[in-house]
Amino acid sequence: VIAVALTSVAYIATFQNASIAAPQITGTAATGGLPSSAAVAGTALAAAVLASLMASRDRRIGIMAGIAVAIAGSLLTLLAIPAWSFPLLLAAALLIGFGNAAIALSRYAAADLYPAHARAGAVGIVVWGSTVGAVAGPNLVGPANAAAASLDLPRFFGGFAMSVAFLVVAMAVATFGPRAPSSSPTTEGQAAPVAPTALSRLVRDLLAEARGRTAVAALVSGQLVMVLI
């Protein structure tokens, strides 16, 4: 929950900052949504990559990898702003999307710790942790940018630097935080291991069922409304 909250602050703060910076870099308001779009693309790519990594290694490795790539992307924003480079900003956004994927996948790490009847609550608590970012992130960008301006740093630099700091702390929490017990009664009700399945096969199987199609439609429409607002 702590790692999710910290990563969420960084992710949301980055895209509040980037949505304002992008039109000023390019001179057109039409580019304001492109950093967020790049981040969503990065999240989609990362979801498959990190899930495969988690399947072959473990959940923690996948979460750490996602946050590490997001740190690299966040550092890239610190180069994009002084250079006033929109392509660099988009590349950074793509990489930061890996952090968002790590947030999403961490809820399954939480679910692994509990028996079937308690998993929904565990997932909900981790998702609730991400709302910390929704509240704190936007409210911290202004003061961070103001602090950077007082040091004669480039405009928007402070908000991006703040995101780097939050991601580094999130990485420390994910790396050094307590580990799940090796043996636990919560394994009751967990699914038996299955052989790896190709992503294309998983998509076909999901869309073949009415409830799978309903779930996808709900997620797509919900995401659309959220991003539009």
- Annotate the chain with three-state secondary structure: CHHHHHHHHHHHHHHHHHHHHHHHHHCCHHHCCHHHHHHHHHHHHHHHHHHHHHHHCCHHHHHHHHHHHHHHHHHHHHHHHHHCCHHHHHHHHHHHHHHHHHHHHHHHHHHHCCCHHHHHHHHHHHHHHHHHHHHHHHHHHHHHHHHHHHCCCCCCHHHHHHHHHHHHHHHHHHHHCCCCCCCCHHHCCCCCCCCCCCHHHHHHHHHHCHHHHHHHHHHHHHHHHHHHC
pLDDT attached to residue 193: 52
Closest CA to 164 of 70, 85, 95, 39: 70
Residue 33: Cβ-neighbour burial (10 angstroms; 0-12, 13-18, 19+): middle
Band (pLDDT 50/70/90 cuts) for residue 191 is very low
10 or 55, which is more confident: 10
pLDDT tens figures, 64-87: 999 999 999 999 999 999 999 999
pLDDT tens figures, 205-214: 999 999 999 9
Contacts of residue 219, defined as CB under 8 A and 6 or more positions apart, other chains included, come to none
**pTM assigned to the model:** 0.86
User: Half-sphere exposure of 89 toward its Cβ, with a 13 Å CA cutoff?
Assistant: 30
Cα R_g (the chain), whole angstroms: 19
